[in-house]
């Protein structure tokens, strides 16, 4: 069944009347996601693709008992939106908005930990368990989603939302299904990271291996490698580190806000070295991922 979501996941979309949110609502409903309510203060009583809009999350929870929230509001409104969701008892929050002030994210993550809630993002496309549900905009239209994502036993974690879809599609085209695919977000500070999500996959009986898509910048991959190296019998992980050219241009940021390399710190080559040392299988090219995944699933040696 995958991690974090199942057929009982019910969703409220905060900022539902916005352009991007209204599109993802239709796409998600077409895929089968149970979006039961939306929230835009001052627009209560309206409908978006048949979904009732409320003025507050509390009212949406009272009426529908939703247990997950997708936040698609302007950056400076994210903190208040997340606090409202947490105060209403929602335990899974997916933040699609990018470039949220770092101080706001720290406060959100601190409050979420106190409330026993989990946060994906910001700057995330969400997560998707093939054939079950999706929370967020991952996969886009229903036709693209069904073509790219298929049910199986390989978890996918990616810092890039678009590359979450690319990796899943690459696996699907090679006959490898996925348990759950998660876009963790490309901002410098995010909620659930590689290590925390791997723990969920490690405990999931239906996941046999995990693939991770990495980028330059930050130390998330190095922390994960250090954790992985301490585990006695971890599930196999296949990783790919993008942006090796960034190593030649220290101090420059490309793409996501977190993709900035300062000397050796955060470099792609450093990430490759520490992950391989920890026993993680690292693909030199994106196209090598399926071969490595098939090898580890068959308990063979990786060359």
Active site residues: 256
Q: Domain with 119 in it: what CATH number?
A: 3.40.50.261
**Average confidence (pLDDT) over 26-43:** 98
Residue 40 lies in a domain: yes
Total domains, the chain: 1
pLDDT at 96: 98
**Burial (Cβ within 10 Å: 0-12, 13-18, ≥19) of residue 262:** exposed
Identify whether 1 is part of a domain: no
Enclosing domain of residue 164? 10-297
Name the residue among 120, 196, 157, 175 with its Cα closest to residue 167: 157
pLDDT of residue 303: 44
With bands split at pLDDT 50, 70 and 90, how would you rate the model's confidence at 136? very high
Is the confidence at residue 293, as pLDDT, over 60?
Answer: yes
Q: Which pLDDT does position 254 carry in this prediction?
A: 52
Q: Region 75-95: what's the mean pLDDT?
A: 98
Residue 35 contacts residue 28 (beta carbons within 8 Å): yes
How far is the CA of 19 from the CAs of 24, 74, 112, 216, in angstroms? 9, 12, 27, 31
Residue 246 to residues 48, 101, 267, 272: CA-CA distances in angstroms? 42, 25, 8, 14
On whether residue 207 sits in a domain, the answer given is yes
298, pLDDT greater than 80: yes
Give the pLDDT band (50/70/90) at residue 216. confident
Q: Is residue 5 part of a domain?
A: no
- In this prediction, residue 256 carries a pLDDT of 47
167 within a domain of the structure (yes/no)? yes
Residue 241 covered by a domain: yes
Q: What does the pLDDT look like over 139-159, one tens digit per residue? A: 999 999 999 999 999 999 999
Note the pLDDT of residue 258: 46
Whole-number pLDDT of residue 263: 47
What average pLDDT does the segment 87-92 reach?
Answer: 98
pLDDT digits (tens, 9 = 90+) for 243-283: 665 545 555 555 545 445 454 456 888 999 999 999 999 99
Q: Indicate whether 302 belongs to any domain.
A: no
Judged by average pLDDT, the poorest of 61-65, 209-213, 217-221, 296-300 is 296-300
Please check whether residue 259 lies inside any domain of the structure: yes
Q: How confident is the model at residue 301 (pLDDT cuts 50, 70, 90)?
A: very low
């Amino acid at each position: 069944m995958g991690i974090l979501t199942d057929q009982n996941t019910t969703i409220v979309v905060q900022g539902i009347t916005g352009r991007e949110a209204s599109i993802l609502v239709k796409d998600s409903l077409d895929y089968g996601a149970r979006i039961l309510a939306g929230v835009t203060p001052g627009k209560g009583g309206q409908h978006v693709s048949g979904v009732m809009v409320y003025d507050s999350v509390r009212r949406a929870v009272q009426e529908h008992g939703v247990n997950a929230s997708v936040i698609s509001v302007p950056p400076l409104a994210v903190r208040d939106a997340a606090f409202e969701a947490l105060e209403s008892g929602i335990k899974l929050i997916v933040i699609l908005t990018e470039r949220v002030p770092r101080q706001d994210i720290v406060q959100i993550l601190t409050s979420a930990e106190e409330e026993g809630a989990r946060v994906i993002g910001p700057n995330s496309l969400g997560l998707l368990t093939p054939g079950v549900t999706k929370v967020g905009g991952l996969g886009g239209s229903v036709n693209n989603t069904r073509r790219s994502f298929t049910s199986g036993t390989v978890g996918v974690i990616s810092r890039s939302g678009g590359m979450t879809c690319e990796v899943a599609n690459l696996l699907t085209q090679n006959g490898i299904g996925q348990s759950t695919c998660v876009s963790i977000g490309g901002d410098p500070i995010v909620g659930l990271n590689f290590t925390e999500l791997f723990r969920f996959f490690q405990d999931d009986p239906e996941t046999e291996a995990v693939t991770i898509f990495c980028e330059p910048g930050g130390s998330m991959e190095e922390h994960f490698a250090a954790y992985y190296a301490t585990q006695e019998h971890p599930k196999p992980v296949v990783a790919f580190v993008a942006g090796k050219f960034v190593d030649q241009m220290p101090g420059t940021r490309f793409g996501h806000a977190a993709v900035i390399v300062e000397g050796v710190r955060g470099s792609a080559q450093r990430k490759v070295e520490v992950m391989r040392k920890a026993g993680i299988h690292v693909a030199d090219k994106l196209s090598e991922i399926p071969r490595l995944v098939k090898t580890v699933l068959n308990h063979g040696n990786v060359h």
